[in-house]
Amino acid sequence: MILPANIIDGLDSGVVVLDANRRVEVWNDWMAVHSSIAASAARGRDLLDIFPELGRSHLLQAVERALNHRLPTVMSHNLHPRVLPLFNRYGASVEPVEQSVVVRPVADGDSTGCLIQVADITAAVKRDRHLRDVTVYNRTLFEMAVDPMATVDRAGILRDVNPAFEGLAGTQRAGLLGSRFDAWFTKPVEAGRLIARTLADGRANDVLLSLRQADGQQRHVSLSAATVPGRADGATMVFLVARDLTERIEAERELARKTRIIEQSNAELAQFAYVVSHDLRQPLRTVSSFLTLIERRLGEAIEDDLKEFIAFAVDGARRMDRLIVDLLNYSRVGRQDAPLDEVDLGASLAEAMANLGTVVAESHAEVAVPEHLPRIMGSRSELVRLFQNLLANAVKYVETGKRPRVVVECRDGGSDWVLSVRDNGVGIPGDCLDRVFGLFQRLNPAEHTEGTGIGLAVCRKIVDHHHGRIWVESHLGEGATFFVSLPKEGATPEG
């Protein structure tokens, strides 16, 4: 029954045969090499003698079972990793042998002996551990991912989900696994088509679907899917990543709603502006045209001062018409119909000065302007208005009797041009530097009665429209400097 020694010694696994008294009868070369105990030294000895550490070990129990009950025992590596103290030696390095052991009864003459077979499964154990490490690593990534992920099999059944997916579905893993993937969506047919298309094409990107949570709430998701290639069992799985767009879609809807309201009020404003301009300007036109008629009727006979009065009246009507037009223009600052052009800031400043002609002249102001100003993309009329408002303020808010001195400058601020308008006026208290840009905000209405408090609000609106910035630096009593920075690229027309 016992194989010839040369065959047993040639085996690539450990073979030990014990007699009915547990004494070693066979101890093959593999055992000698891995235990460092020669066959000659082992033969005839009780196994427990050779390995005293075995004590009441499972191996000894298995040996008893084989000898007394003639029953075989499998000792799997998972439950008995290193049954015997055996080692692989590679040069200087020593590594324990991971073992899988089988103990079985063998006939030994009239009595029953026992065969212990030891297989070296170190390589398999290492491979298994490596595979396990990879699995743990991938599992961790999957579990920690912020985006919901799931795998679905060929039949459309959910096979795996990560915690983010549980959150998305508002359902625990147990309630998801084994359920139909498409049944979770408000449009099951489309969800099913996504799986079918992925199976056919290998992948599908950004499919928008609405998932219905267990409590009936809907989540809008964008799904991307791909088949999992090269699985060992050949079964095709679909791997899905979802992106929860609910918040974004709801925000977009809210934005669209607000935009609609704004558009509506803009339309109302335009209507209002039309009515105002039409209804206010019509009577004014009547006044000035009839004044002109009166002047013509009176002909040469007209006295000089009467002529002058009429001229004042016509001028007043014209100024009022301008005012109305300006008021309309204020309300239109930044509106799409304001044309964007290449604008020469120097020309705009000159035009503003001209518009302010009498104001500046009456105040005997001294205004210094730079010789050269850059050109930018913008709205000419708005930029004229900007300069005009700033200059008007600069000459207006000065102690009575003091001669206003205004300096306009422009410096290169890298990507911007920074314009400044400096005056020697009353200045602005530190806590009002922001407030002055508000609509109808006036600091000393009693002292300077003229004005409505719109000027700087309009300036800010214009600067905003040009994607620039406006601010003021000042100390009470020491004049004020208004700064405007405008991007060199100019205002890009918005869609």
Partner 1 sequence: MSIVLNEMERDVVTELFNIGVGHAAAAFGELTREKVQLAVPRVDIVNYTEAANQLATVAGEPMIGIRQDFEGPLTGVAALIFPERRSLEIVRAAIDDRFPLDDVSELERETLLEIGNIILNSCLAAISDMLGMPTSASLPHLVQSAPPDLLDTLSARTSIDRIVLFLHIDFSVSRLNVSGYLLFILGVEGSARFLEAVRGLIRRSEQGE
Interface ranges with Mg ion (CB under 5 A): 393, 455
- Is residue 72 part of the contact set for partner 1 (CB under 8 A)? yes
x/- site string to ligand ATP, residues 456 to 495, per CB under 6 A?
xx----------------------x---------------
Nearest residue (CB) to partner 1, 107 versus 251 = 107
| Binding residues with partner 1: total (CB under 8 A) | 29
23 binds, among ligand ATP, partner 1, Mg ion, none (CB under 5 to 8 A by kind): none
Nearest residue (CB) to ligand ATP, 16 versus 390 = 390
Residue 467's contacts (CB-CB under 8 Å, 6 or more residues apart) are 486, 487, 491, 492
Q: How far is the CB of 389 from Mg ion (least distance, A)?
A: 6
Secondary structure of the chain as H, E, C letters: CCCCHHHHHHCCCEEEEECCCCEEEEECHHHHHHHCCCHHHHCCCEHHHHCHHHCCCHHHHHHHHHHHHCCCEEECCCCCCCCCCCEEEECCEEEECCEEEEEEEEEECCEEEEEEEEEECHHHHHHHHHHHHHHHHHHHHHHHCCCCEEEEECCCEEEEECHHHHHHHCCCHHHHCCCECHHHECCHHHHHHHHHHHHHHCEEEEEEEEEECCCCCEEEEEEEEEEECCCCCCCCEEEEEEEECHHHHHHHHHHHHHHHHHHHHHHHHHHHHHHHHHHHHHHHHHHHHHHHHHHHHHHHHCCHHHHHHHHHHHHHHHHHHHHHHHHHHHHHCCCCCCCCEEEEHHHHHHHHHHHCHHHHHHHCCEEECCCCCCEEEECHHHHHHHHHHHHHHHHHCCCCCCCCEEEEEEEEECCEEEEEEECCCCCCCHHHCCHHHCCCCCCCCCCCCCCCCCHHHHHHHHHHHCCCEEEEEECCCCCEEEEEEEECCCCCCCC
Beta strands at 416-422 and 480-487: parallel, antiparallel or unpaired: antiparallel
- Is residue 352 part of the contact set for ligand ATP (CB under 6 A)? no
- Is residue 452 part of the contact set for ligand ATP (CB under 6 A)? yes
Nearest residue (CB) to partner 1, 78 versus 415 = 78
- Is residue 132 part of the contact set for partner 1 (CB under 8 A)? yes
Q: How far is the CB of 451 from Mg ion (least distance, A)?
A: 5
For partner 1, the binding residues in 200-259 under the rule CB under 8 A are 232-233
Nearest residue (CB) to ligand ATP, 174 versus 446 = 446
Q: How far is the CB of 421 from ligand ATP (least distance, A)?
A: 8
Beta strands at 366-368 and 405-413: parallel, antiparallel or unpaired: parallel
Nearest residue (CB) to ligand ATP, 152 versus 426 = 426
Which of 116, 436, 462, 463 binds ligand ATP (CB under 6 A)? It is 436
Q: How far is the CB of 63 from partner 1 (least distance, A)?
A: 14
x/- site string to ligand ATP, residues 43 to 62, per CB under 6 A?
--------------------
User: What strands, in cross-sheet order, belong to the sheet with 480-487?
Assistant: 366-368, 405-413, 416-422, 480-487, 469-474
Which of 14, 113, 378, 455 binds ligand ATP (CB under 6 A)? It is 455
- Is residue 428 part of the contact set for ligand ATP (CB under 6 A)? yes
- Is residue 449 part of the contact set for ligand ATP (CB under 6 A)? no
> Closest by alpha carbon to 487, among 376, 406, 411?
376
Nearest residue (CB) to partner 1, 107 versus 323 = 107
Cα–Cα distance for residue pair 433/454, rounded to 1 Å: 15
443 binds, among partner 1, Mg ion, ligand ATP, none (CB under 5 to 8 A by kind): ligand ATP
x/- site string to ligand ATP, residues 367 to 406, per CB under 6 A?
----------------------x---xx--x---------
Contact region with ligand ATP (CB under 6 A), list: 76-84, 262-270, 344-352, 438-446: 438-446
Q: How far is the CB of 282 from Mg ion (least distance, A)?
A: 28
- Is residue 407 part of the contact set for partner 1 (CB under 8 A)? no
Which of 10, 202, 451, 477 binds ligand ATP (CB under 6 A)? It is 451
- Is residue 58 part of the contact set for partner 1 (CB under 8 A)? yes
- Is residue 65 part of the contact set for partner 1 (CB under 8 A)? yes
Nearest residue (CB) to Mg ion, 242 versus 392 = 392
End-to-end Cα distance, the chain:
95
- Is residue 443 part of the contact set for ligand ATP (CB under 6 A)? yes
Q: How far is the CB of 66 from partner 1 (least distance, A)?
A: 9
Q: How far is the CB of 112 from partner 1 (least distance, A)?
A: 8
User: What strands, in cross-sheet order, belong to the sheet with 14-18?
Assistant: 24-27, 14-18, 111-120, 99-108, 73-75
Phi, psi of 101 (to 5 degrees): -120, 140
Nearest residue (CB) to partner 1, 128 versus 464 = 128
- Residues 345/376, Cβ–Cβ less than 8 Å: yes
x/- site string to partner 1, residues 93 to 122, per CB under 8 A?
-------x-x-xx---------------x-
Residues that bind ligand ATP (CB under 6 A): 389, 393-394, 397, 423, 425-428, 436, 441-444, 451-457, 480
Residues that bind partner 1 (CB under 8 A): 58, 65, 69-80, 100, 102, 104-105, 121, 124-125, 128, 131-132, 135-136, 139, 232-233
